[in-house]
Structure 1
Amino acid sequence: MRIIIVGGGRTGYHLVKHIPRSVIIEKNPDKFERLNSLVGVKAVLGDGADEKVLLSAGLEDADAVIIVTADDQINYTVASIAKKYGVRNIIARMENPDNETRFSSLNLSAILCPTTVVAEYIKELIHPGAEKEFFIKKILVPIVSPDTMAKAFEEALQLSLKTDAQLILVGNKKEYVGEERKVLSLLDLPASIEIEEGDLTEAVEKHAKGADLIVVDPEEMNYFEKILKKSIIKRLLERFDTPILVSRHFKPYTRILLLADSSKALSVSFKIARLFGEIFRSQIDIMVLEGSEEIENARQGLRDEGIVHDFKVENISFEGNVNIETVKLVKSGDYDLTILPWGSPTLLKDDLGDSIVHNAPKSILVVKG
């Protein structure tokens, strides 16, 4: 879905960070530079009330326009132009309630006052039918510091927006979650922030019991490993079956590499691939580490799901050593996400899996094998 946001103030800034594939228009050069520095964000410098600027931002192909400047006249003008070009979903901010009749005459999708709760409408635009049941219902994000949790929070937030999963932020200092608390409030997402005194590792393990997914930043992973003197991934997987996402970016997963073997990770790995393929319309490339009838049945099932839910499934053929070829594919950076079976007798010899987790350029999702 292509969404144009007009207005790069506080509201627009947070929205563009957390709405995939959106474009933001801002006329203030300083605000524009701040927006343009965000990874994965397309910013346009110009007046959003200028028809040419809107067209340059992709108005003719837009599925939605969200207008959040503090000027009612600008917002009304932008909404009128968007209406002229047949944009189906138009949301406009309105500062002065006296202008309600004027805005209502445009028959917009929604008119928002600053005190209006807008999250549910925005979430519906991002993922129509979000009321659908998904098996990921709780996502745990450890908080070591504001800097180290940035990627993990962003990626977990994308998944929460798509699946309506509850975010559980766990840390031992409440001042670390100021911005995250604001974003969660703005988007009205199901979330809890758990501030635990004492050992952070024990706090994470306490809350991991009820989580369906754990999301960690690579720097946070290093922090835990310095304390534990061992791999935090190994420690968690020794105690829980919960998949662990090592987060390195927050863009939607365009391409996913699924490493498949006959371990007990098989079922969960394909289940996750199917979910992400559906909600992100990802292309899923399957690399079979060892052949079996069970894997072939899983591959065929995923291909069938792809036809129904409009995502592509391909098989990867290779010659040579499976470990070497796996490392090449992961290191290529061609995949936004790699789904990795942990404890695979085929793959994880000599701690190769641990090396992949620590050195991959993109996100890695580890599933217990």
Structure 2
Amino acid sequence: MYVLIGGAGLVGLSLAQKLVELGHTVAVIDIDPIACRYAREQVGAMAFEGSAVSTEVLLEAGIRKAGSLAAVLRSDALNLAMVTLAKHYGVTHILSRMRHPDFAEPLRIAGANHIISTVELSVSTMVNAIEYPQVESMMHFEQGQIEVLKLAIP
């Protein structure tokens, strides 16, 4: 699948790396030429230098053929703009990182299918590790109604 990632920071590059390893075709967009070079040379992703909320850059990066788009830019406002543009260009699977909870509903209205709160995810993971140290991993589905646990059984 062709995946477009807005932002080549730590999250964006780590996501790109995992997706490339899984066999996806990945393109990242970032204003930092060094991050773009790293994405090309070390990650194996395509990289487009420029603003991920520029229609010109998004079209050059192939937003119309993207099966998924991840907005992991430095601010919620930029992620909101990228989500809105992705929806406009017909991307059906849109993910966004969210820093502040005030952006949850605007991101949802704009078209984000998945909104990942970095603070909530970190806190939840740490609480689970403290409360259930024997659990190797835990996944939540259906807004927390279903939990899947991974345990080592001797």
* TM-score normalised by structure 2 residue count: 0.71
Report the count of equivalent residues.
Answer: 119
2:34 corresponding residue in structure 1: 30
Match of 2:7 in 1: 7
Cα displacement (A) at 1:23: 0.7
Task: Give me the whole-angstrom Cα distance separating, in 2, the residues matched to 1:109 and 1:99.
Answer: 14
Offset at residue 101 of structure 1 (A):
2.3
Higher RCO (Cα < 8 Å, 6 or more apart): 2
Matched, 1:71 2:81: no
Q: How does 1:292-311 map to 2 (within 5 A)?
A: none
1:98 aligned residue? 102
Q: C-alpha separation between the residues in 1 aligned to 2:32 and 2:113?
A: 27
Secondary structure of the corresponding residue to residue 42 of structure 2: coil
Q: Deviations over 1:296-333 (max 9, x none)?
A: xxxxxxxxxxxxxxxxxxxxxxxxxxxxxxxxxxxxxx
What SS is found at the alignment partner of 1:38? Answer: helix
- Which whole-Å CA distance do the structure 2 matches of 1:60 and 1:23 have between them? 13
Structure with more of its chain in strand, by fraction: 2
Contact 2:16–2:26 under 8 Å retained in 1? yes
Q: What secondary structure does 2:5 align onto?
A: strand
How far apart in 2 are the matches of 1:29 and 1:85?
25
* Cα 1:39/1:113, change in 2 over 3 Å: closer
- C-alpha separation between the residues in 1 aligned to 2:44 and 2:33? 19
Secondary structure of residue in 1 paired with 2:17: helix
* Structure 1 runs, 4 residues or longer, greater than 3 Å off: none
Q: Distance in 2 between matches of 1:73 and 1:79?
A: 10
Question: Which residue of structure 2 lines up, in the alignment, with residue 249 of structure 1?
Answer: none
Distance verdict in 2 for CA 1:116–1:88, change over 3 Å: farther
Question: Given that residues 13 and 43 in structure 2 are in contact (C-alpha distance below 8 angstroms), is that contact kept between their aligned partners in structure 1?
Answer: no
Distance between the aligned counterparts of 1:47 and 1:13, measured in 2? 16
Amino acid of the structure 1 residue aligned with 2:99: E
Deviation at residue 70 of structure 1 after TM alignment: 2.1
- Residues 105 and 36 of structure 1: is their aligned pair in 2 closer, same or farther, counting only changes over 3 Å? same
- In the TM superposition, residue 82 of structure 1 has moved relative to its aligned partner by 0.5
Compute the displacement of 1:5 (Å). Answer: 0.6
Per-residue deviation, 1:48: 0.2
Q: Deviation per CA, 1:203-255, whole angstroms, max 9, x where unpaired?
A: xxxxxxxxxxxxxxxxxxxxxxxxxxxxxxxxxxxxxxxxxxxxxxxxxxxxx
Alignment RMSD, CA only?
Answer: 1.9
Equivalent residue letter for 2:73: T
Q: Does the CA contact (< 8 Å) of 1:92 and 1:110 recur in 2? A: yes
What amino acid is aligned across from residue 70 of structure 2 in structure 1? I
Q: Per the alignment, in what secondary structure is the counterpart of residue 118 of structure 2?
A: coil
Q: CA deviation at 1:41?
A: 1.6
Residue 57 of structure 1 is matched in structure 2 by: 61
Query: Aligned partners of 1:88 and 1:99: how far apart in 2?
Result: 20
Task: Report how far residue 73 of structure 1 moved.
Answer: 1.1
The structural deviation recorded for 1:30 is 2.1
How far apart are 1:36 and its partner, in Å?
Answer: 2.3
The CA distance in 2 between the partners of 1:98 and 1:113, in whole Å, is 11
Matches within 5 A, 1:164-175: none
Cα pair 1:70 1:95 within 8 Å, conserved = no
Deviation of 1:112 (Å)? 1.3
How do 1:1-369 residues align onto structure 2 when only pairs under 5 Å count?
1-19=1-19, 20-38=24-42, 40-115=44-119
| Structure 1 position 86, deviation (Å) | 1.2
Report the secondary structure of 1:108's partner residue. coil
> Taking structure 1 as reference, are residues 39 and 71 closer, same or farther at Cα in structure 2, changes over 3 Å only?
closer
Unaligned runs of 5+ in 2: 122-136, 138-149
